[in-house]
Amino acid sequence: MTVIQVIINSIIRASELTLLSLGLTIVYDILKFANFAHTEFAVVGAYLAFFLSVTLGLPMIPAAIIAAIATGFLSIAIDRAVFKKMRNSNGIIIMVTSMGVAIALRNTVRAIWGADARSYVLPLQSPLVTQWFRITSLQIWIIIVGAVAMILFHLLLHYTTLGKAMRASSDNPELAQASGIATEKIVTYVWFIAITFASLGGTLIGMETFLLPYMGFAIIIPVFCATIMGGIGNPYGAMLGALVLGFAENFGLYINFGKVFNLGGLLPFSRDMFIPTGYKPAIAFVMLIIVLLIRPRGILGKKKEG
Amino acid sequence: MALAGVSFRVDQGSITGLIGPNGSGKSTCFNIISGFYTKDRGEIYFQGEKIENIEPFRLARMGIGRTFQIAAVTEKMTVLENLLLAPKTQTGEGVFNVFFRAAKIRRQEKENYEKALEILNLVQLYDLRNEYAGNLSGGQKKLLSLGRILLSDPLFILLDEPTAGVNPTLIKDLIAAVKRLRDEEGKTILLVEHNMKVISEICDKVVVLDFGRKIAEGTPKEIQNNEKVLEAYLSGSSKHESIHENS
Amino acid sequence: MGFINFLVYLAIMMGIFAILSVSLNLQYGFTGLANFGQVAFFCLGAYATTIVTLTFNMSFFLGLIAAMFLAGLFGYIIAIPTADLREDYWAIVTLAAGEIVRIFFLNEDWVVGGGPYRGGAYGVGDIPQPFRSHFSAQTYPFFYLGIVLACLLVTYLIVNRLTKSPFGRVLKSIREGDDNLAQAMGKDVKKFRIKTMAIGGIFGGLAGCLYAHYYGFISPQEFVPLETFIVWAMVIVGGEGNNKGAILGSVIIILFYNSTRYLKDYIPINETTLASLRMVAIGVLIVVVMLFMKEGLIKEKKRIY
């Protein structure tokens, strides 16, 4: 494995994470709670896409898009039924509730589709292979979709009325509400955008690997990590956090720490030391702890008063 | 509001008032002195010792007691329970002690309980002692705060708008209590107030802030006639306050 | 399983989870620490006792102590750098910490002695049952139930004593999220949080130990975050901030969880699907209770002196 391959893997991973962390950060910011069900929506979307494409026979792209939209609406429904009633509740209560929603969603998927791994039916990938790296067209798509999502989001945020309203609500919620920006309407849009992105992210991950009911949980810590590292409420932070984490995870597994410890051959210490792949989630965790201890507001986060 | 160039001295056994229009930095000042904010520059001396980056609870243990502008109470505990938090060295707060020093703890609890009842009487909250503190009115919460200050027996007391929201009939008792703290118990008090009557009645000295700076210092009488002070109140941040208001 | 045996099984589960529930209630209900990684204590306790009694062949009591010590230590260590974090960040951190513990045992099979098909994802079996030889196969479960109930009683008495003491009073003053009052009254808030986590850990470890010796087999699969949230459901349903509620919550949730166990004999439903639906029900239960009954069944009692 060459460094270039690691870089490519990092970018792919960052792209997947961005689709998820963007949504998480805006929900966290506008609705003021950590949505533990966020990645479960991604899973629901991925399985819906599976249903549409494999069971119903739709082509993959429309299936993914329709699934994303459907999941977006589902999230609005769940917001209305559950979270809306808790707008003024204490943070922990909403978090625990979102965990309840997560458990319910995850296991509904499991009840319907079973615990075994599922796969999309995709055309055989002929990867691009050079002496330095290898990349499949799916992976290129993942990078493209991630990038397009980021651009679209940026455009939304800065060139639409909704975007302006979102930024206003984010910077100063009381003032926004007082000046008549219809915050409930914004909430609806925020959920929709956040969850459609998440659903696409889940679908792409499912396409790259396979679908398992608990895959949402597998990714929740890295997504939270990326979001918090970048600074909650800052979509660019979410993108940055995803990038940093993508690189950290892949380089973390790639670097031979034995070489680091013996200073590249200077010391008579020769052992190969790699972080075992089983510990990949631990990388996200450690980074999260470090960020929270040193700079809790994240790289691009806003400073809170007092 | 950031502070720049605020410097004053609070004499032991005196009551000093800290006034200024809204946003002039009074709360910031309080928060820095009591350790809730960290300062970037400057020095604070307490009883001759320099205080540097000490956590609020340590300052509280050293004898700096304070109340908060929005009275801090634990909502889901009764008034009495809230008050019982006040005594500083409670053996029962240590985990091992709970099991191995039960007799001593029982004794302390009894003593504190009795003292607490006395204080509840003083601040007229006796009848509400078993009520959840969260159900009290704002003014009553202020009284509870004063109560816990009394029970915790600090050396230096910071009172943040002690009369705001308090029933006018109780203000008199409150003032009497504060005066007694100085006269009979030799406490040192710094208070932020908007009620000028209170200020003129009990303060030995008044410090005036505006836009984060000290603009005047002197006796209440001197301050009331100070041009800079009048100007600060009549222009700028607050047009509604009047230095001569009888509120 | 005979009906009586099933009841004994239920009672043992209720007892073990009641200990977990009381422990979590101390952390969340009294101190406001939203520990989303409670399962870590459970897991550490189970593995600690397994290592001590199985790998090193030492007595059950040593296993018990090791379990409580290791879990308590973990609680202490995790709390030190994180005790002042905002409550939602802290929940995330503890969730992650719980996962790291599980991943550790998933990867490091040597901890339980290694050997083929042992440790790591395979789990560990043949965990010795304390005093097994003194009893027959029929009476042993009752004896074990006795051990569990004794541990629960001790747990309840200790935690109850603590929460009713001045120590508990300070905890309650910290839990509302605003430290100002406690700080202003000279309470070292961070230290209280750390101590609470250590104590919570000790009892979580106790439960883990009892669990390991009862089942005789443990694997990382059993220590997933879902376990934490089952305990959360117990604390919430029973009523936060009171210890009896925690125990009641455990009884209710375990009953609920097991009530559908025999359903598959009557309804043609697949085992996995049933298990999943049970989980869905737990999730929905958590949501429903949070929406309509977040005080729980037993409200916290007002302290009148």
All residues of chain B having their beta carbon less than 8 Å from the beta carbon of residue C182 are 57, 85
Angle value at C-alpha C225, between C221 and C231, nearest 5 degrees? 115
Work out the angle at residue C260's Cα, subtended by the Cα atoms of residues C258 and C264, and round it to the nearest 5 degrees.
130
pLDDT of residue B112: 94
Output the pLDDT for position B237. Answer: 47
Q: Residue C305: CA atoms inside 13 Å, Cβ hemisphere, count?
A: 24
Average per-residue pLDDT in chain B? 86
Report how far residue B12's alpha carbon sits from residue B2's, in angstroms, rounded to the nearest whole number.
27
Q: What is the structure's pLDDT at C22? A: 97
Do B92 and C166 count as a contact with CB atoms less than 8 A apart? yes
Per the CB < 8 Å rule, is C183 touching B56? yes
Structure confidence at residue A27 (pLDDT):
92
Q: With an 8 Å Cβ cutoff, are B99 and C161 in contact?
A: yes
Q: Among C240, C276, C293, which would you mutate to test the A interface (most chain A Cβ atoms within 10 Å of its Cβ)?
A: C276
- C-interface mutation test, from B34, B80, B95, B106, most C Cβ less than 10 A away: B95
Q: Which of C159, C161, C181, C303 is the best substitution to test chain B (most B C-beta atoms within 10 A)?
A: C181
The minimal CB distance from C89 to the residues A115, A217, A228 is found for A228
Residue of C242, C175, C206 whose CA lies nearest to C25: C242
**Confidence (pTM):** 0.90
Ranges of residues in chain A with a pLDDT under 50 are: 305-306
Per residue in B81-101, pLDDT (tens digit) is 999 999 988 999 999 999 999
Query: Rounded CA gap, A218 and B216, in Å?
Result: 62
Per-residue pLDDT 10s for chain C (305 aa) are 578 888 999 999 999 999 999 999 999 999 999 999 999 999 999 999 999 998 888 889 999 999 999 999 999 999 999 988 888 889 999 999 999 999 999 888 887 776 676 778 888 888 888 888 888 888 899 999 999 999 999 999 999 999 999 999 999 999 887 888 999 999 999 999 999 999 999 999 999 999 999 999 999 989 988 899 999 999 999 988 889 999 999 999 999 888 877 666 677 777 778 888 888 998 999 899 889 887 888 888 887 87
Residue found by looking up tokens 């989001």 in the block: A153
CB contact under 8 A, B95 and C173: no
| CB of C285 less than 8 A from some CB of A | yes
ipTM: 0.88
Q: Which residues contact A122 (CB under 8 A, 6 or more apart)?
A: A60, A138, A207
Decide if pLDDT at B240 tops 50. Answer: no
Per CB-CB distance under 8 Å, the chain A contacts of C106 are 278
| Cα–Cα distance for residue pair C158/C173, rounded to 1 Å | 20
- Contacts of C260-265 with CB under 8 Å at 24 or more apart are none
Residue with tokens 């459609």: A196
pLDDT tens string A77-131: 999 999 998 888 878 889 999 999 999 999 999 999 988 888 888 887 788 888 8
**What is the residue type of A190?**
V
What is the Cα–Cα distance from B119 to B137, expressed in whole angstroms? 18
Concatenated DSSP letters for A236-271? Answer: HHHHHHHHHHHHHHHHHHHS-HHHHHTGGGTSS---
Q: Which residues of A96-111 are buried (b: 16+ CB within 10 A; e: fewer)?
A: bbbbbbbbbbbbbbbb
Give the count of Cβ contacts less than 8 A between chain B and C.
Answer: 99
Q: Number of CB pairs < 8 Å for A and C?
A: 128
Give the model's confidence band at B239: pLDDT under 50 very low, under 70 low, under 90 confident, else very high: very low
Q: How far is A267 from A158, CA to CA, in rounded Å?
A: 53
Most C CBs within 10 Å: which of B93, B111, B142, as the mutation test of the C interface? B93
What tokens were used for C79?
């709390």
Q: How far apart are the C-alpha atoms of C74 and C66, rounded to whole Å? A: 12
Q: Find the CB nearest B72 among C158, C180, C189.
A: C180
Question: What pLDDT is attached to residue A43?
Answer: 96
A256-279 tens-digit pLDDT: 777 777 666 666 666 677 888 888
C contact chains, 3+ CB pairs < 8 A? A, B
In whole angstroms, give the CA distance from residue C144 to residue C132: 9
**Helices (runs of H) and strands (runs of E) counted in chain B:** 10, 8
Query: Which residues on chain C place their C-beta less than 8 Å from a C-beta of chain B?
Result: 158, 161-162, 165-167, 169-170, 172-173, 175-176, 178, 180-189, 195, 199, 241, 300, 302-305
Longest Cα separation, chain A: 69
When pLDDT is cut at 50, 70 and 90, the band that residue B235 belongs to is low
Question: B-chain residues within 8 Å CB-CB of C162?
Answer: 95, 98
Distance from CA of C160 to the nearest CA of A (A): 24
Give yes or no for a contact between B136 and B144, defined as CB atoms under 8 angstroms apart: yes
Residue A31 has a pLDDT of 86
pLDDT band at B246, cuts 50/70/90?
A: very low
Cα–Cα distance, A103 to B128 (Å, whole number): 44
